[in-house]
A and B are shown apart, each in its own frame.
Chain A
Amino acid sequence: MSAWETDPLLQIERLTMRFGGLVAVNSLSFAVGRGDITALIGPNGAGKTTVFNCITGFYKPTEGRIAMALASGAFAQVGAATASGKTTIDGNLYLLERMPDFEIARYARVARTFQNVRLFSGMTVLENLLVAQHTRLMAASGFSIAGLLGLPRYREGVRAATERATYWLERVGLIERADDAAGDLPYGAQRRLEIARAMSSDPVLLCLDEPAAGLNPRESAELNDLLRFISGEHKTSILLIEHDMGVVMEISDHIVVLDYGQKISDGTAQLVRNDPKVIAAYLGVDDEEVEHVGKEARA
C-alpha cells in the first residue's frame, strides 16, 4: 500500500472551483501521502494552479473539503471537525477551506512557491529568508517590545533565524550571494531562493508551482536532488505542479493527472505513464483511438 492511501497528509474531497460560469476544478478528490513527493500534472488550463490556490487559501473553493492532518491518523476526526464549524481540532487536523491564506501558512504549515517567481527583490537574499521566519521572529521580539529594547531573548531568536537561513542558503548554493539583492540574482538562482525561502518557514507540506520552468537541464537535475533532499532529510512532503516530465517521472512517488478540471489518472509514475487517458490528454488522440490504445494496453 502506498502512503497516500495508508497515511495521507492532505486530503482533498470533491473540490469544486467555479469562476462565474467557468468550472475550473470539478469535484476533484485526491490525497497527498505523508513524506511523499506528489506531482500534479496536466495540460495547460487543466486547473492545476487553481487547486494550488485553493489549498493555500488564495482562493476560497466553491465546494469541497481540504483537510490537512499534521498528526498521523488525525483523519479519524475529520467528520467531527467539519460538524464543529471550527477550523481545527487540537492543532492536529486543519480544514484549509475555512482558513485565510496566512493562517494556512502559519498554523497548517503549508508553504508555497509561485509560477512566476515572487521574491522580495529589493531586499537581500538573507532578508528574504528572515521574512519567511516572521512568525517565529515576531514571537522572539515580543511583538517588537523586546526587540526595541534589544533583550537577549530577541538576539537569540535572530541568531537562530540567521543560522537556519545560512543552512538553507548552503543547501541551495546561494551562500556566496547572501548579501546581494534578490532582484540581482539570475533566474535559476531566484527559483532556488524561492524554495529556500519557503523551506525556512519550516513547512510540513511544500507546494511548488512549476519549479523547473525555465531551468536548463543541469539546473533541472540539481532541482531533482534538492527536492529529494527536502523530502528525504527533512521529511517534508512535497506537492508540485510540473510540465517537465524528466523531473516528474524521476522523483515523484505519486502522480495525479488533471484535464479540464477533472482527475483522469492517479497513481505511481509507472501506472500514470502507461495510462491511455493520460497519453490521450497529452498527445491529443481522438476518442476512437483512445479506446483502441486502451484495449491494447489491457491486452
Chain B
Amino acid sequence: MAEATPIQPTADITPEGAELQAEERARALAGEPPFAKSRPDPNRIRDSIRDAVIAAVVSLALFGPLVGLETTPLGSTLGLVPHWRTVAIIVAAVFVVRLLLNLFVWKSDKPVTASIGRFFGDEPVTFRDWLPILVIAGLLVAVNLVAGDVGLVVARLALAGLIIVIARKFIGPYMPALPYGKVFGVLFILVALVLPVISETYIPQQSRYLLDQGIVVLTYVMLGWGLNIVVGYAGLLDLGYVAFYAVGAYSFALLAFYFGWSFWICLPLAGVLAATWGMILGFPVLRLRGDYLALVTIAFGEIIRLVLINWADFTGGPNGISNIPRPSFFGIPFERGEGGFADVFGLPFNPVHRIIWLYYIILVLALVTGAIAARLRKLPVGRAWEALREDEIACRSLGINTTKTKLSAFALGAMFAGFAGSFFATRQGFISPESFNSLESFIILAVVVLGGLGSQIGIVIAVIFLNTVFELRELAEYRMLIVGLSMVLIMVWRPRGLISTRQPTAFLRQRKAVTADNISQGHG
C-alpha cells in the first residue's frame, strides 16, 4: 500500500433526493393531517356531561367564596352575608353553557360556530352562514332594548364588533387588496382634524368632555408610538418608560418655575433632556437582556419617581409643582378681557378655546411623532433597530454597533416621551410624582403589546379601545374586569397583538407583509 486511502467524500454517502423527501414530509405534516377525520365519539353525551360537571365543580370552588360570601361590618365585628342564590345561578349557567358547547361545538361533526368562524376567517361565507350571525345580532339588539346599564354597554360593544366583522366580509371580496392600514390611518387623521369643529357645532354640551378625552387619547397614542420605537422596533422591553414622561413634565415645570420660560421654548428642551436621561439610563442597562433588562428599567422608572418625591427643595416633593404656565396662541394668552384670545379675534369668551388649542397641539405633536417614527423605520437606523430585534449577533457580524443602535432607540423613545410629558404639564397646570407611577408604564406597554408590536395603527386602535372601556361610567366597578377580560381574549385569539403583520421597509417588485410567526419579539 504505497498510497494512503483518500478520505471518503461524505457528500456521496447522502442518498440522492433525501433532502427533498424530508422537505415533503415536513410540508405534509405542517398542513392538514393526512388521516381522515375520526368518526363521532360514541360516548359523546356521557363525556360531555362529565366535562360539564367538572367545570361546574371548579366554578363552585371559585365563585363560592368569591361571590357567595360577602363581608359586612356588624357593629364592631365583621359579619358574613351569604349569596348562595347567585352562586347557584352562576354554577348552573357554567354547567349548561359548557354542556351545550361540548355537544354542539367541541364534540360535534358540524360545530354550530363554524359559520360564525367563517366570518372571522378568510374563507368565503355562504348564504346559510348568515342565519346564526343575524340571530346573534338580533339578540344583541334585543339586549340593547331591555338590559340594564352594564349589559347595555357590553351588548353595544359586541354589536359594534359584529358590524365591523360583517362589513369586512362585505367589502373584502370586492376590494381584496384594500390597504386597511392606510385607509384607517387617513380616516383617523381626518376625524381627528375635524373633531373639535363637529363637536362644538353639534354637541356643544358634551364638547368639552369629548375634547378632553381626545387629548387623553392622543397623549397615549403619542406615548405608545414613542415606546413602540423601543419595544416594537428595537425589541428592548422597557418597563420604566414613564420615567422619561416625568423628566419631560418636570423639565418644563422647573424651567418655567425657575426661569419663567414659555411652553414653546421649553418643549424642545424637555425633549432633549429626556433623551439625555434616556442615554444616561440606557448606557448601563443595555448590556442586560430579556428579563433582566425589564427588571432594571422598572427600577430606573421608580428611582426617577423617588428622586422627584424626595428632592423636595428642588422639585417640590410630593406636593408637586403648580401654576405651570399655559400655552399661548402665538403669544396671545387664553384669558378673559382685554388682550385675550377671544378679545383679539372678536369672539365671545369661552374656556373651550384653550381646550381646542391644546387639542390641536397634541394632535400635531402626535402626528409628528408618528411620522418621524414611521420614516425612521424605513431608514438604515430603523432597519438596524429591527435587525437588532431579529438577531443581535448577526448585526454585529455586519458591522453594526449594537450599543449605539440600542442607545439611539432608547434616546428617541425617551425624547418623544419628554415632549408628551411637557404637554402633560402645560395641560394640567399642576404635576406631582403621583402622575408618574409604574402603572402608567404598564398601561403604555399594554397599549403597544395589544396593538401589535411595531404597528402604529394597532396602537391607535388599542388606545381608543382601552380609553373607551375606562371611561364607560355604566360599567362602574366592572371596568378593570372588562379590560382584563378583553386582554385575555386578544392574547388568546391574536397572541401577537391586533395587527401582527409587518410591512417591509423596502421592496423590489411587490410589497408583501411579513407574517407574525417569522417576526422575532426581541430578547431584550
Contacts and interface: CB of A to CB of B under 8 A. Distances in A.
Interface stretch (B109-117, B371-379, B485-493): B371-379
Contacts of B502: 122
A141 B381 contact: yes
Interface string B1-25: 1111111111110101111100100
Given A179-B504, A179-B508, A119 B391 contact: yes
A181 B9 contact: no
Interface stretch (A2-10, A11-19, A127-135, A258-266): A127-135
B398 interface: yes
Contact of A111 (B2, B384, B393, B398): B398
Interface in A215-238: 215-217, 219-220
Contacts of B8: 245
B6 A123 contact: no
B507 A124 contact: yes
A212 B372 CA distance: 43
B9 A121 contact: no
Interface stretch (A22-30, A73-81, A85-93, A99-107): A99-107
B384 A134 contact: yes
A246 B396 contact: no
B379 A131 contact: no
Interface stretch (A32-40, A63-71, A272-280): A272-280
Contacts of A137: 380
Interface in A103-117: 103, 105-106, 111-112, 114
A124 B378 CA distance: 13
Given A105-B396, A122-B390, A293 B383 contact: no
Interface in B392-409: 393-402
Nearest to B9: A246
Nearest to B1: A296
A130 B380 CA distance: 8
B248 to A, nearest CB: 21
Contacts of A158: 506
Given A106-B399, A121-B519, 5 more contacts: A105-B396, A123-B505, A130-B506, A134-B380, A148-B376
B87 interface: no
A118 B393 contact: yes
26 contacts: A56-B397, A105-B397, A112-B397, A121-B390, A121-B518, A121-B519, A121-B520, A122-B502, A123-B514, A126-B504, A131-B383, A131-B398, A141-B379, A141-B380, A144-B379, A147-B375, A148-B372, A158-B506, A179-B504, A180-B512, A184-B515, A216-B14, A217-B14, A217-B16, A249-B9, A274-B3
Nearest to B16: A217
Contacts of A140: 380
Contacts, number: 190
If over half of A's interface residues share one DSSP class (helix, strand or loop), that class is named, otherwise mixed; here it is helix
Interface string B491-507: 00000000000101111
Contacts of A130: 380, 383, 505-506
B238 interface: no
A120 B11 contact: no
Interface string A164-200: 0010000000010011111110101000000001100
Interface residues of A, number: 71
A58 interface: yes
B398 A105 contact: yes
B518 A181 contact: yes
A179 B513 CA distance: 9
A120 B8 CA distance: 36
B387 interface: yes
Contacts of B387: 120, 123, 131, 134
Contacts of B506: 124, 126-127, 130, 158, 162
Interface string B148-166: 0000000000000000000
A246 to B, nearest CB: 4
B453 to A, nearest CB: 10
B508 A178 contact: yes
4 smallest A-B Cβ distances: which pairs? A122-B519, A106-B399, A183-B518, A105-B399
A144 B504 contact: no
B85 interface: no
A299 B515 CA distance: 64
B504 A123 contact: yes
Nearest to B382: A144
A201 B399 contact: yes
A98 interface: no
A251 interface: no
A22 B507 CA distance: 48
A138 B381 contact: yes
B504 A124 contact: yes
A293 B507 contact: no
A127 to B, nearest CB: 6
A214 B11 CA distance: 10
Nearest to B381: A144
A122 B11 contact: no
Given A134-B383, A181-B514, A282 B7 contact: yes
B171 to A, nearest CB: 25
Contacts of A132: 398
Contacts of B383: 123, 127, 130-131, 134
A273 B372 CA distance: 59
A243 interface: yes
Nearest to A143: B381
Given A106-B399, A122-B390, A246 B10 contact: yes
Nearest to B502: A122
B236 to A, nearest CB: 16
A214 B23 CA distance: 12
A135 B398 CA distance: 9
Given A138-B381, A274-B3, A179 B509 contact: yes
A164 to B, nearest CB: 13
A46 interface: no
Contacts of B391: 118-120
A128 to B, nearest CB: 8
B10 A102 contact: no
Contact of A216 (B17, B395, B402): B17
Contacts of B390: 119-123
A243 B18 CA distance: 19
B380 A179 contact: no
A273 B6 CA distance: 6
A131 B379 CA distance: 10
Contacts of B372: 148
A131 B395 contact: yes
A102 B401 contact: yes
Given A121-B518, A124-B504, A178 B4 contact: no
Given A127-B506, A246-B9, A279-B4, A120 B386 contact: yes
B511 interface: yes
A118, A244, A297: most-surrounded residue (chain B CB, <10 A): A118
A134 B400 contact: yes
A111 B380 contact: no
B12, B397, B506: most-surrounded residue (chain A CB, <10 A): B397
